[in-house]
Structure 1
């Protein structure tokens, strides 16, 4: 346990990838994948959020580079994966099997799954479908794509806390369509009117950015609304949210916990997470009592908030000790 006297852990030093790959996964999709750290280290897959957001160099820094082989893929249509923003053959289940394709291509018998926000969603879906290929899970800012969670962010809930930003978010949508804001956004983001799509993409991704940390981060807002990425990222995000994550039931990921309860797991949640409220992490932890839940005081959603970073680094260090023996083939 962390005590008040202990200094917060910080990110490991910046590193560059030692290898990059382009992996063809069918349907015209080619995934960008990078590897960093120790090629002979403990395999860990970094499952990025979004969906649609891609990687940033800081994501390599949550792992001891001497102990981990860090594998960082960009999901279909995201970042440097091509074609950017493509929605065809792009569902959660395609992404699950993409992770398996990457694991097999790179010769990894099993790996630790590390993911936050949408990365926690996809990490859970992957682990529940391929539990024998997972050595453990570190999950942050839990998102299960349930109707209550979608409504909180995009229809009725979070606007009580962010009224001025909410007005900016709904401004592109005519009043007559605001009874289903998600559907209205989805129509425009995937429509033929590129000017309207871009205007909606800017508003959507600003809303995502301002709610992704305890206080708005100008750097994150600039990154998520950048000219060359904002529309593809917003299209993919809307595609997944409107379709409820492509799950067959509201509780699919909770109901699937029994398949992975034998795996070591840590859940890290900011107490004041605006976009992924703590009740979701609490619901997951109640279904998974063997998992270690850290509710981080004074923190929001971002992995870069000091208390969240501290717990993530402590967790990867603990798992490095736990997994130092190679997994059987």
Structure 2
């Protein structure tokens, strides 16, 4: 049980959204149909929506729409990389809003979901009522390389175990090594070993520098491990291309964002999404607020981060803005 979050509850309705090239997306609604509409964008890419992400919202005040992006979660075909690029995801969001008849929505995203939220707000600004961005990720070569090569020396022993899976001559390009092997079909034990090693490395970085994960997950196995292979297949596909957001770079696109309430929440000790990325985004959005969360790392369930998310959303539901983004 995570304190401070709203109770876990099942979605009240689900949707199958047929989009281009045979993809069928899974979307869920929770909360109240009469509430403020909020779109939740999950991380990854490829992770799929977690029930945790709905628990930041007061179900009596919000109509929460959670979408599994192409290849992710319960969307089909799971793990597919064909016709799966950022431009496709943006088209999907336009279609989802039209199908559900939503005039405007608050857009909430974490990590890659925050990145996608920024890109979406630039292409459909009239539909965005506000932006709540947790642990924003800038998909640039330096940040991606830092994750896979541990150029900052954040966890050298854990990285050595991770890199040991690759032949010595390929350890300088762990992302390329993982992508080549995860793209092979059909999957098998070798892919499962790679996915589990990637997951362990990610877990080592997710916690803050001094704090354990708030709710550590058991190591995936069986069907969960097969889903992890698919998740990382999609993620490596995106990261190899810097998520198709480097020409022009994402910060150069932010001038097109609407002047709506915009709050960034980021941990100073986030070892997956460099805090400098939050500073860059904040500087490019003059009307935005940036709040630092101490000790949360990259863990969305860390009590301090969860409390900040709940406080911001509660304030928005009453006042139409995020206040100072801090819990009371």
Task: Tell me if both proteins adopt one fold, taking TM over 0.5 as the criterion.
Answer: yes
Check conservation: 1:270, 1:297, Cα contact below 8 A.
yes
TM-score (norm 1): 0.90
**Matched ranges for 1:246-325 at <5 A:** 246-249=244-247, 252-323=249-320
| Shift of residue 220, structure 1, vs aligned partner | 2.9
RMSD: 2.0
Equivalent position to 2:167, from 167, 174, 196: 174
Query: Aligned-pair distance for 1:167?
Result: 1.4
Q: Partners of 1:128 and 1:322 in 2: how far apart?
A: 24
Residue-by-residue CA offset, 1:9-49 (whole Å, 9 max, x unaligned): 81112222110111111211111111000101110001001
Q: Could you give the per-residue CA deviations for residues 215-237 of structure 1, whole angstroms, max 9, x where no partner exists?
A: 45473352599323111011011
- Structure 2 distance, partners of 1:246, 1:223, is 30
Residues 137-168 of structure 1: per-residue CA shift (max 9 Å, x gap)? 0001010111111111112424x121121012
Residue 219 (structure 1) aligned with residue 213 (structure 2): no
Structure 2 counterpart of 1:97, from 85, 91, 108 = 91
Who is 1:19 aligned against?
13
Offset of residue 135 of structure 1: 0.5
Q: Using the alignment, how far apart are the partners of 1:175 and 1:95 within structure 2?
A: 36
Query: Which secondary structure state, in structure 2, belongs to the residue aligned with residue 23 of structure 1?
Result: strand
| Structure 2 residue aligned with 1:236 | 234
Q: Is the 8 A contact 1:209 1:224 kept in 2?
A: no
- Choose the corresponding residue for 1:209, options 203, 207, 231: 203
Q: Residue 162 of structure 1: which of 145, 155, 177 is its match?
A: 155
In 2, distance between residues paired with 1:39 and 1:49?
25
1:42 and 2:36 matched: yes
Is this contact kept in 1: 2:192–2:225, CA < 8 A? no
- Distance, in Å, in 2 between the alignment partners of 1:51 and 1:223 is 18
Matches within 5 A, 1:51-130: 51-130=45-124
Q: Following TM superposition, by how much is the alpha carbon of 1:321 offset from its aligned partner in structure 2, in angstroms?
A: 2.3
Alpha-carbon distance between aligned partners in 2 of 1:29 and 1:216, rounded to the nearest angstrom:
38
Displacement of 1:299: 1.8
Match of 2:129 among 128, 135, 147: 135
2:139 maps to 145
The answer on whether the counterparts of 2:192 and 2:226 sit within 8 Å (CA) in structure 1 is no
Q: Please give the alpha-carbon distance, in whole angstroms, between the structure 2 residues aligned to 1:31 and 1:178.
A: 35
| SS state at 1:313 partner | helix
The alpha-carbon deviation at position 64 of structure 1 amounts to 1.1
Question: Structure 1 residues 38 and 297, CA, compared in 2 at 3 Å: closer, same or farther?
Answer: same
User: 1-side partners of 2:291 and 2:99: how far apart?
Assistant: 34
Which whole-Å CA distance do the structure 2 matches of 1:108 and 1:212 have between them?
A: 34
Query: What residue ranges of structure 1 are gaps of 5+ in the alignment?
Result: 1-7, 325-329
Query: Contact 1:206–1:224 at 8 Å: present in 2 too?
Result: no
Range with greater deviation from structure 2 (52-61 or 207-216): 207-216
* C-alpha spacing 1:248/1:299, structure 2 compared with 1 (3 Å): closer
Alignment correspondent of 1:190: 183
The number of residues matched between the two structures is 315
Please say which of residues 49-58 and 192-201 is displaced more in the overlay.
192-201
Name structure 2 gaps, 5 residues minimum: 322-328
Distance 2:292 2:218 in 1: 26
